[in-house]
Amino acid sequence: MRELTCILCPNGCLLFVSENKNKQPEVHGSQCKRGDQFALDEVLDPKRTITGTIKTIFPEMPQLPVKTDGEVPLFKVKEVYDLIKSLRITKLYRNGELIASNVLGMDVNVISTSDMQLYIDG
């Protein structure tokens, strides 16, 4: 049995995932269907949105905060972090602007989460 706390709504349900007699996962403890799906996804195919920073060439803003615009399978998280760590920002980006597309062929992009112009001109 696996125990999880749902993070999809303020209820924060304590969820329990176990196998039924047919070896299929079963969720107990959720107050809504979203909790059931959260628990199943977390047990069967966990994914994460990645956040981080990329070094820049601008002394006024030496790092740019970024994130993925979709979720990455948990087993690929380190590869995405390594890719982000290897990048270097040499131009000004706006909030939400694409920095790296189709990361590792997963149809997930790395985007800026800050407007550099505000810091450089500010």
Instruction: Read off the pLDDT of residues 60-101 as tens digits, 9 standing for 90 and up.
Output: 999 999 999 999 999 999 999 999 999 999 999 999 999 999
> Is a pLDDT exceeding 70 seen at residue 122?
no
Mean pLDDT score, 5-21:
93
Instruction: Read off the pLDDT of residues 26-55 as tens digits, 9 standing for 90 and up.
Output: 999 999 889 999 999 999 999 999 999 999
> Is a pLDDT exceeding 90 seen at residue 4?
yes
CB 113 within 8 A of CB 95: yes
For residue 111, give Cα distances in angstroms to 43, 54, 79: 28, 11, 17
Which one is the CATH code of 51-121: 3.30.70.20, 3.20.20.70, 3.10.530.10, 3.30.720.120? 3.10.530.10
Only one residue has tokens 């131009």, namely 91
CB 38 within 8 A of CB 17: no
pLDDT of residue 33: 87
CB 28 within 8 A of CB 18: yes
